[in-house]
Amino acid sequence: MRLDVQVQGRKVATLFRERDEYVLQYEADAAPGDFVSLTMPVRQEAWRWPRDLHPFFRQNLPEGYLLNLIREQFGPLLDGTDLSLLAVVGAMGIGRVTVTPEGVAPGTELQALDIKDVLHGDNTAEHFAALVRDYARAAISGAVPKFIAPQRSSTERPAFDGPLGKPTIRTSRYIVKGSDENTPFLGFNEFYSMRVLERLGVAPVARTQMSDDGRALVVERFDVNAEGFPVHGVEDMCGLLGLPPHEKYNSTTEKVLNVAKAYLLDRISMRQQLEQLGWHLLSNYVVRNADCHTKNIALFYTSVDDVAFTPVYDIVTTQAYPRFAVNPPGLAVDGRKTWAAGKALERFFNSRAGIAPPKYAAMVEALCDSAVTVGHEVIEAAKNEPQWRGVAKQMLHAWNDGMESLRTPKKSVQFKNLKPVIAAAGFSAPEPPERSREIIGQSPLLAKRGRTKN
């Protein structure tokens, strides 16, 4: 099997398997700007990767729920390799690169979707599962139910009518995410968790809309322009580190920062970029998001000269769900995965990111103050929709834990926290965690490790 690889709709390379290697061979006329990945610039010699697809091509392969649906629907087209899976889903995904079977032009025949149908419609598990099934043929990673669909528009334009005649392919401007039995009202959770950082205006954050029922979240893509043309390349840290997707938790914050610095060539904006990463990391500690792994931090670009961190995305209060409540942070700092990071996190900011302790402390307090403000919004929202009350209670307890763990104990009494807000709302104690469950990112097949200091 041979696949055509396109950048903004124009074929630039061929991808195929040769014995025990996967091979990416650029076209003879490929220009330097036609590079598929930052890790694989255009050259005459082929790029080879042993046993598995190159990390770049694995970064958006479906996982979990979506992968199971694709196996059900397209089983006859799959031969058990990631190459055949990419042949099925590669024509629609995140970023400027598309992949299709040899000789097949990029494009999609999926029915267009009016996003209002999601925002104001039925997003119960059964109905959303039907939507995911309808739009399963897309390259998008992640364990929760989600899909990309072509957007219905009143002013349709030809799919390959790009600026200045350059062939491009138009796609959806949105990613649609749903809930499942383990993460009820995930749309509500993620919308308000993201808002803790978003309302401060200190770092770019992906724009989101929550459905009326709080079950679904519509995320505006940052790799496409207003007309839906994919103009940015996107590469997550998992691929840039050369890790397979199932090892997305097996790295450290230090390694993520080091690999990012290798591609952030604009030294003038380096400080701003590192500060953006700092806001992202601290937000996860405040809202207790254990799912910030190497696939949820990424770079985007239009060329090698404008590489930057993408807007922040996928911030969820995982501690709000008893199944995942005991999970530690997704990335280690100073060799440890613990919410009680103490001085280790401050040292990382100071020595690795160039953010001095006073600035670090100010960032912590800004996020904590924002969590209190958004906490009031969460409670008001739950008053109007009693079904959200359970997850709202869990979220606020988790946020308060996050705030307290980042502050110096002697000084924490001087600052606002969420305890009065929780009490005023009449919330009871948080539901106990399900400690018998497996930890995100840790296979239940692994032998138990010895006692570690935490």
pLDDT tens by residue, 387-439? 999 999 999 999 999 999 998 665 545 667 899 999 999 999 999 998 754 44
pLDDT for position 135: 64
- On whether residue 337 sits in a domain, the answer given is yes
Looking at the 3D structure of the chain, how many domains does it have? 2
- 4 and 102 Cβ atoms separated by less than 8 Å: yes
- On whether residue 89 sits in a domain, the answer given is yes
Q: How many Cβ atoms sit within 10 Å of the Cβ of residue 16?
A: 15
- On whether residue 192 sits in a domain, the answer given is no
C-alpha separations of 378 from 114, 225, 368, 381, 444 in Å:
28, 31, 15, 5, 34
Higher pLDDT, 71 or 451: 71
Cβ burial of 59 (10 Å; 0-12, 13-18, 19+) is buried
404 and 284 fall within a common domain: yes
Range in 77-81, 90-94, 444-448 with the lowest mean pLDDT: 444-448
- On whether residue 236 sits in a domain, the answer given is no
- On whether residue 367 sits in a domain, the answer given is yes
- On whether residue 66 sits in a domain, the answer given is yes
15 and 136 fall within a common domain: yes
10 and 146 fall within a common domain: yes
Higher pLDDT, 378 or 269: 378
271 and 399 fall within a common domain: yes
In the chain, % of residues over pLDDT 70: 83
Q: Give the single-character DSSP code of 104.
A: P
292 and 397 fall within a common domain: yes
301 and 400 fall within a common domain: yes
pLDDT interval class at 57 (50, 70, 90): very high
Kindly give, in sequence order, each residue whose CB lies less than 8 Å from that of residue 441, ignoring residues fewer than 6 positions away: 248, 249, 250, 293, 327, 330
Q: What is the pLDDT of residues 225-259, one digit of tens each?
A: 877 788 999 999 999 999 999 999 999 999 999 99
259 and 123 fall within a common domain: no
| Domain housing 112 | 2-178
Rounded (5°) CA angle 192-198-202: 155
Distance CA(97)–CA(12), nearest Å, equals 10
- On whether residue 377 sits in a domain, the answer given is yes
Question: Strand pairing partners for 23?
Answer: 16, 48
pTM of the model: 0.87
Distance CA(208)–CA(313), nearest Å, equals 9
Which conformational region is residue 149 in: left (phi greater than 0), alpha (psi within -120 to 50 degrees), or beta? Answer: beta
Among 154, 178, 202, the domain-final residue is 178
259 and 172 fall within a common domain: no
Maximum mean pLDDT: which of 51-55, 161-165, 407-411, 413-417: 51-55
Please choose, from the candidates 59, 96, 14, 24, the residue with its C-alpha nearest in 3D space to the C-alpha of residue 241. 59
Question: How is residue 5 written in tokens?
Answer: 């690889």
- On whether residue 303 sits in a domain, the answer given is yes
279 and 160 fall within a common domain: no
135 and 274 fall within a common domain: no
270 and 354 fall within a common domain: yes
104 and 10 fall within a common domain: yes
DSSP calls for 239-292:
HHTT--GGGTTSSBHHHHHHHHHTT---HHHHHHHHHHHHHHHHHHHHHT-TT-
